[in-house]
Chains A and B, each alone.
Chain A
Amino acid sequence: MQLVGIEMLNIFGGSAYLDVDQLASHRGLDKTRFDNLLMKEKSVALPYEDPVSLGVNAAKPIIDALSDSEKDRIEMLITCTESSFDFGKSMSSYMHDYLGLNRNCRLFEIKSACYSGTTGLQVGINFVLSQVSPGAKALVIATDISRFLVAEGGGVLSEGWSFAEPSSGAGAAAMLVSDRPYIFQMDVGANGYYGFEVMDTCRPVADSEAGDSDLSLLSYLDCLQQSFSEYQKRVPDANYLESFSYLAFHTPFGGMIKGAHRTMMRKMLKAKADVIESDFEERVFPGLIYCQRVGNIMGATTALSLVSTIEHGEFYSPKRIGCFSYGSGCCSEFFSGVVTAESQEYLKQFNIADKLNQRYSLSMDEYDALIKESTTVRFGTRNVKLDTGFLEGARNSSDMPRLFLKEIKEYHRLYEWSQ
Chain B
Amino acid sequence: MINRGELILEKKNVFLIVKDVISEVLPDVDSNGVKIEQNLKSLGANSIDRTEIVMLSMERLGIKLPLVSFGGVENIEEMVDVLVDNT
Which chain A residues have a beta carbon within 8 Å of chain B's beta carbons? 32-34, 36-37, 156, 160, 163, 198, 200, 212-215, 217-219, 221-222, 255-256, 258-259, 262-263, 266
5 A-B pairs whose Cβ atoms sit less than 8 Å apart in the complex: A33-B45, A37-B48, A198-B68, A215-B68, A218-B51
- Measured between C-beta atoms, what is the minimum distance from B13 to chain A in Å? 23
| A-B CB pair tally, cutoff 8 Å | 58
Q: Contact at B67–A219, with CB atoms within 8 Å?
A: yes
Residues of chain B within 8 A (CB-CB) of A34 are 46
- Is B71 located at the chain interface by the 8 A CB criterion? yes
Residues A156 and B47 in contact in the complex (CB < 8 Å), given A219-B67, A222-B66, A222-B67 = no
Given the complex, which residues of B lie within 8 Å of A32, measured CB to CB?
44, 46
What is the CB-to-nearest-CB distance from A33 to chain B, in angstroms, rounded to a whole number? Answer: 5
Q: Which residues of B contact A163 (CB under 8 A)?
A: 47
| CB-defined contacts of B47 to chain A, threshold 8 Å | 160, 163, 213-214, 217, 256
Interface pairs A-B: 10 shortest CB-CB: A215-B71, A218-B67, A259-B48, A32-B44, A33-B46, A222-B67, A218-B68, A222-B66, A219-B68, A255-B48
Q: How far is the CA of A32 from the CA of B45 in the complex (A)?
A: 8
B72 neighbours in A (Cβ, 8 Å): 156, 212, 215
Considering the complex, give the chain A residue whose CB is closest to the CB of B66: A222
User: How many interface residues does B have (CB within 8 Å)?
Assistant: 19
Report if B76 contacts A (CB, 8 A): no
Digitize B10-22: 1 where CB-to-A-CB distance is under 8 Å, 0 elsewhere.
0000000000000
List of A residues within 8 angstroms of B78 by Cβ: none
A160–B50 Cα distance when bound, in Å, is 13
Contacts of B66 in A (CB 8 A): 222
Smallest Cβ-Cβ distance to A199: which chain B residue: B71
Determine the distance from Cα of A156 to Cα of B39 in the docked complex, in whole angstroms. 14
Determine the residue in chain B with the shortest Cβ distance to A256.
Answer: B48
Q: How far is the CA of A214 from the CA of B51 in the complex (A)?
A: 8
A384 to B32, CA, bound (A): 61
- Besides A37-B48, A160-B47, A212-B71, 18 new A-B residue pairs in contact (Cβ under 8 A), listed by A number: A32-B44, A33-B49, A36-B48, A214-B71, A215-B71, A217-B47, A217-B51, A218-B70, A218-B71, A221-B67, A222-B66, A222-B68, A255-B46, A256-B47, A256-B48, A258-B48, A259-B48, A263-B55
**In the bound complex, do residue A259 and residue B51 qualify as a contact, i.e. CB atoms below 8 Å apart?**
yes
A327 CB to closest chain B CB (Å) equals 15
Chain A contacts for B77, CB-based, 8 A: none
Task: Report B59 CB to chain A, min CB distance, Å.
Answer: 8
Chain B 60-73, CB-CB to A under 8 Å as 1, else 0, gives: 00000011101110
**Chain A residues with CB below 8 A from B45, complex form:** 33
